[in-house]
Amino acid sequence: MKNFMIKTGVVLAALLVVACLPAWAEVKLPAIFSDGMVMQQQTQANLWGTATPNKTVTVTTGWNGKQYSVTADKSGAWKLAVSTPVAGGPYTLTFDDGTPRTLNNILIGELWLCSGQSNMEMPMKGFKNQPVENANMDILHSKNSNIRLFTVKRTSAFTPQNDVVGSWEEAAPLSVRGFSATAYYFGKLVNEILDVPVGLVVAAWGGSACEAWMTADWLKAFPEAKIPRSETDIKSKNRTPTVLYNGMLHPLIGMTMKGVIWYQGEDNYNRAHTYADMFTTLINGWRAEWKQGDFPFYYCQIAPYDYGIITEKGKEVINSAYLREAQAKVEHRVPNSGMAVLLDAGMEKGIHPAKKRLAGERLALLALTKTYGIKGVNGESPYYKSIEIKNDTVIVSFERAGMWISGKNCFESKNFQVAGEDRVFYPAKAWIERSKMLVKSDKVPHPVAVRYGFENYVEGDVYCEGLPLGSFRSDDW
């Protein structure tokens, strides 16, 4: 009986030990590291995960058979970087802490993070009653095993998370149909021109505020941003400060990539006075946490739209041109950034413009020219420089307009206004002479200021090399 009790005790003790073993008694990886993924080429690419505590994790790279080793800490966490070759594949990656695990169908190429609100999230199939222009045919022709897609599931969290929900898919009609249209058109053009695999990771949530993608520390400079102190303070899953940083961005930080494309600002249109500083802080904060230097950050200027439609009856309609102006300031403040102007791509009655190909390809033009060094094409829109006043005429000069400006169909524009000392703006006649725009109004004999497209909804009609001039004002009223 005594021996039986001893044996029973030993068995129970053994079972207890097994029960107490960590659940990760093999290598486990974040969702972003999985079959079909794209890794950034010719760099030291970060990999991380969990394994048996204190055990050695060996990673074998299929492109050259090289092995890398690291010891998991007492909680099982580990991280290392592997050297990636020039673009190619498919390859394998094997992780082994005694129990091997292999990832298959891995491509080496260009990896981009695509973030923002609904105009980044808007899928190729569109939203209900809101289609994407020519999407059906573009979806039909979308099969391409060298374009890989990953969509981060919407996740709002009070505290920083360690993983996201999502999976890698190859571009094909079914996967592309539900994928971000702006991101897809961006990646498609980059893949076509560079002829290398492209990976696109979309972390976007419609209606999200800039503040939601930031940390509490970064937001200290903006007292209007109310940081949640508990779960009960989260009144909005996509607008409350910090919640999308915690739920959707934090788990991706450290993912070795080429850069970021961003399409957001509509939710902040009524807070334009803080947006230039806030967006600059966001970019600098992301870069600081990524520890990957000043990686490229390209973004869309929000498209024109009649915000009176969503303004509560009896309240003043806020002019979103101030938000576009704030966005325009950022590319001049932040190194290695650029703005895709969409002044000709809006919809008066729709906040989700159908011209997503235009948005994606203008972002791609920025990347191809500024990041990848493609010569012979222009990627940046012309930009307002200064004015000179001669009698009753304002003469406007532009930067980034080496080939001079041009009208949409002629040498005139219908989107200029001038004002005198009384600060009242009147529609003006505007015409192009060589590299300048001349502007005048019979109602303003002594002009002091000029504005272009500085309204909620406008159809941009001034270009340089096919890229539109953004709205601007010479005054600061």
Q: Which of 296, 292, 378, 356 is nearest to 331 (CA)?
A: 296
Q: Are residues 112 and 203 in the same domain?
A: yes
Q: Are residues 323 and 269 in the same domain?
A: yes
Q: Inform me whether the pLDDT recorded for 23 exceeds 70.
A: no
Task: Examine the fold and report which residue of 337, 371, 405 is the final residue of a domain before the chain moves on.
Answer: 371
Q: Are residues 389 and 357 in the same domain?
A: no
Q: Which of 332, 303, 297 is nearest to 468 (CA)?
A: 303
Model pLDDT, residue 409: 77
Which pLDDT band holds residue 13 (cuts at 50, 70, 90)? very low
Distance CA 165, CA 156 (A): 12
145-199 pLDDT tens trace: 999 999 999 999 999 999 999 999 999 999 999 999 999 999 999 999 999 999 9
Domain hosting residue 452, numbered range: 383-473
Residue type, 21: L
Q: Is 127 helix (H, G, I), strand (E, B) or coil?
A: strand
Distance CA 302, CA 351 (A): 9
Model pLDDT, residue 25: 58
Residues paired with residue 155 on neighbouring β-strands, in sequence order: none
- In the chain, the number of structural domains is 2
Would you say residue 174 lies in a domain?
yes
32-86 pLDDT tens trace: 999 999 999 999 999 999 999 999 999 999 999 999 999 999 999 999 999 999 9
Q: Are residues 365 and 450 in the same domain?
A: no
Model pLDDT, residue 2: 45
Spatial contact of 419 and 389, defined as CB atoms under 8 Å apart: no
Q: Inform me whether the pLDDT recorded for 408 exceeds 90.
A: no
Q: Are residues 342 and 462 in the same domain?
A: no
- Whose tokens are 């980059």? That residue is 190
Local structure of residue 302 (DSSP, 8 states): P
Q: Which of 371, 354, 331 is nearest to 189 (CA)?
A: 371
Model pLDDT, residue 15: 43
User: What's the CATH code of the domain at 220?
Assistant: 3.40.50.1110
Spatial contact of 255 and 219, defined as CB atoms under 8 Å apart: no
Q: Are residues 360 and 272 in the same domain?
A: yes
Would you say residue 235 lies in a domain?
yes
Q: Are residues 330 and 396 in the same domain?
A: no
Q: Are residues 227 and 153 in the same domain?
A: yes
Model pLDDT, residue 19: 41
Q: Which helix H or strand E contains 174, and what residues bound it?
A: helix 173-177
291-311 pLDDT tens trace: 999 999 999 999 999 999 999
Would you say residue 44 lies in a domain?
no
Q: Say how many Å lie between the first and final Cα of the chain, rounded.
A: 95
Distance CA 395, CA 392 (A): 10
Task: Examine the fold and report which residue of 323, 350, 371 is the final residue of a domain before the chain moves on.
Answer: 371
Q: Which of 39, 163, 16, 22 is nearest to 97 (CA)?
A: 22
Q: Are residues 414 and 349 in the same domain?
A: no
Q: Are residues 240 and 337 in the same domain?
A: yes
Spatial contact of 77 and 24, defined as CB atoms under 8 Å apart: no
Q: Are residues 315 and 220 in the same domain?
A: yes
Q: Which of 374, 361, 370 is nearest to 296 (CA)?
A: 370
Q: Are residues 163 and 250 in the same domain?
A: yes
